[in-house]
């Protein structure tokens, strides 16, 4: 993010990214808190200890001085709030990814509307309501926690590089010098997830990006290591609670909520 001067306690801007700028795609941090709402497209975010995926209708709160970077492989439309440090002291101090409510989306749209200026009192009231709504939202399951243990990191790094691998923990253990039981324990301790849960989150992130790019079920089955397009479709419906065709059409054709009038 380029430096910005805040006229208020929060700077609200609309951004359309055809791709992520170079300075956003390398690890960086800044003294301002940052709230990002995705209206169209798919955005990948990263910190040293987790990856996350944002689809339309999702938002992330990034506290001040948090090292982060992003990746976008197609057009992404965003509403971004940069929050002054003084306001962030009373706000959640950890990165939070969540599904935005209709109220959050509406508040962001109104705060970003420069054609109808808000009084300082009303603006502050709306910001406070926005912060309270963000605090109440449950965390999304589209975050991918990253481990610190060197043995487990070899496993997760390898899977991220090649999601088609279908090895059990016993086989991974032979490769990294640990027992199956040790790796299972480390997955729960360092990521909060079982091995299969972690793998499903990784595959889901890759699947969402493929669907945003219009990839067919057959193509996605090759990318993710499934035996067929039907097999991928059954898996996606089970873990995402929706069908690939609906998501593909949704991502490519329109916003999930009306932001253009």
Write the CB contacts of 151 (distance below 8 Å, at least 6 apart in sequence).
176, 177, 178, 182, 183, 186
For residue 111, name the pLDDT band (cuts at 50, 70, 90).
confident
Q: How far is CA 39 from CA 16, 172, 231, 249, in A?
A: 10, 39, 30, 15
Query: Can you give the pLDDT at residue 103?
Result: 95
Nearest by Cα to 14 from 112, 104, 82 = 112
Instruction: Supply the mean pLDDT for the chain.
Output: 87
CB 172 within 8 A of CB 183: yes
Confidence of residue 196 (pLDDT cuts 50, 70, 90): very high
Report whether pLDDT(261) > 60.
no
Tell me the pLDDT tens digit for each residue of 10-35.
677 777 666 555 456 788 998 999 99
Q: How many CB atoms lie within 10 A of CB 200?
A: 18
The pLDDT confidence band at residue 253, using thresholds 50, 70 and 90, is low
- Can you tell me the distance from the alpha carbon of 127 to that of 250, in angstroms, rounded to the nearest whole number? 30
Q: Per-residue confidence at 93, pLDDT binned at 50, 70, 90?
A: confident
| Structure tokens that stand for 210 in this block | 């493929």
What are the tokens at 60? 């992330």
Least confident of 10-14, 36-40, 69-73, 198-202: 10-14
Phi, psi of 230 (to 5 degrees): -65, -40
β-pair partners for 254: none
CA distance 90 to 85: 10
Query: pLDDT over 70 for what percent of the chain?
Result: 88
Structure confidence at residue 4 as a pLDDT band (50, 70, 90): very low
- Full-model pTM: 0.81
Query: How far, in Å, CA of 209 to CA of 213, rounded?
Result: 6
- Burial zone of 105 (CB within 10 Å; 0-12 exposed, 13-18 middle, 19+ buried): buried
Give residue-wise pLDDT tens across range 162-171: 999 999 999 9
Region label for 12, one of left (φ > 0), alpha (ψ between -120 and 50) or beta (otherwise): beta
Query: What average pLDDT does range 133-137 have in this prediction?
Result: 91
SS percent in the chain: helix, strand, coil, step 5: 45, 20, 35
DSSP 28: B
Phi, psi values for residue 175, rounded to 5°: -75, -30
What is the CB neighbour count within 10 angstroms for residue 197? 15
Residue the block writes with tokens 């060197």: 150
pLDDT in tens, 209-235: 899 888 999 999 999 999 999 999 999
Provide mean pLDDT across the span 96-111.
Answer: 92
Statement: residue 6 has pLDDT above 70 = no
């Amino acid at each position: 993010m380029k430096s910005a001067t805040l006229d208020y306690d929060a700077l609200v801007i609309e951004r359309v990214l055809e791709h992520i700028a170079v300075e956003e795609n390398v690890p960086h941090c800044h003294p301002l808190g940052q709230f990002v709402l995705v209206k169209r497209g798919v955005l990948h975010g990263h910190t040293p200890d987790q990856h996350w995926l944002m689809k339309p209708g999702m938002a992330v709160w990034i506290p001040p001085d948090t090292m982060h970077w992003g990746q976008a492989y197609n057009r992404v439309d965003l509403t971004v709030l940069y929050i002054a440090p003084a306001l962030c002291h009373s706000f959640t101090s950890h990165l939070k990814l969540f599904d935005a409510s209709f109220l959050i989306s509406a508040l962001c749209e109104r705060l970003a509307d420069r054609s109808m200026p808000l009084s300082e009192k009303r603006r502050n009231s709306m910001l406070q309501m926005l912060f309270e709504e963000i605090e109440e939202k449950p965390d999304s399951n589209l975050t991918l926690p990253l481990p610190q243990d060197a043995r487990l990191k070899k496993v997760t790094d390898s899977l991220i590089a090649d999601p088609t691998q279908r090895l059990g923990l016993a086989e991974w253990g032979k490769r990294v010098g640990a027992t199956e039981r040790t790796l299972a324990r480390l997955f729960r301790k360092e990521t909060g997830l079982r091995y299969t849960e972690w793998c499903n989150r990784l595959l889901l992130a890759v699947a969402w990006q493929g669907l945003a790019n219009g990839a067919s079920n057959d193509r996605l089955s090759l990318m993710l290591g499934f035996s067929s397009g039907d097999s991928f479709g059954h898996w996606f419906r089970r873990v995402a609670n929706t069908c690939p065709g609906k998501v593909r059409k949704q991502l490519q054709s329109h916003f999930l909520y009306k932001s253009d009038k």
